[in-house]
Structure 1
Amino acid sequence: MAAKLSGGGGGKYQVEQNSEINVTPFVDIMLVLLIIFMVAAPLATPSVEVKLPTAVAPPQTNPPVPIYISITSNGRAYLGDFPVELEEIGPELTGQIGRRNPADERIFIRADRGTRYGDFMQVMNSLQDNGFYSVALVGEDNAPK
């Protein structure tokens, strides 16, 4: 039989709550990880000394913001969020991209299901007439998840 050394009454099966966190296992794990990293860090650095040449490549610019053209079912076109006439899309885009090459720009076209094929082709022709040849068609993703 065991005797209770401290505390008030209660039966021999009564367990008091301990609200303190035992940090000893946490400290043990952290020390093991510290030793592993101290051993592995020198192995990860190359020990062969070489004199590297200087890089002369110009810094890369940020990629441009994607350009979206939206065509509604009633034939209205939008360049980004702003309405534009179908035949004016090419010149508007040329003004928007500035001095960048139109052949390097990717244009994303979003068209409503009810869009007339003639309206879509008018947008495509306007883009090609102004040098925009990289066109991506945006659709709804219905892939199973």
Structure 2
Amino acid sequence: MDAGGPKGKQKSDINVTPLIDIVLVLLIVFIVMVPGLAKAMKVVVPQVIQTTTPPKPDPNNPPVVISIDKDGKLMLQADPIDADGIKQKLPDIVMLQPLGYRKIFLKIDEDVKFQNAVDALDAIRVASDTAKKKSLEQADKFQGQDGGDVKVAVSILKRPAAATAAPTNG
């Protein structure tokens, strides 16, 4: 068997032919790919409008606030209500909000069980679906717009650390 060197010794030169083949293939790939990379879509980034004061609430359209106290009791605005009541009353309240601005604020006490918050969100989702179906049924009144889904903003009421911390006796 021939090892390529004189008198049966191995040849110490590196065979660069496969290396050149790989480099040429990569060069061709990059030559083909570069024009395709230049065809990117132009993106318009939305501008942020910063205001120092929040807009004043519309007196004709007060925000819908559902709150859950630490005992797990639901309140719609200032009235006590249960989850079934939310499913029944909320669609009509949501229908009064302007199209595209249907929002519900959910205030949750930090000590509320997770399941109570999930139940409230589920009731809001069912009420949102019902309101959307009612809007679609009355499409001629709204000129074909369904108003979209109800957006829910959730805030958690946290108490100051001093109010929740137990006193320590040293």
Please give the TM-score of this superposition, normalised by the length of structure 2.
Answer: 0.41
Give the TM-score normalised by the residue count of structure 1: 0.47
- Counting helix residues as a fraction of each chain, which structure ranks higher? 2
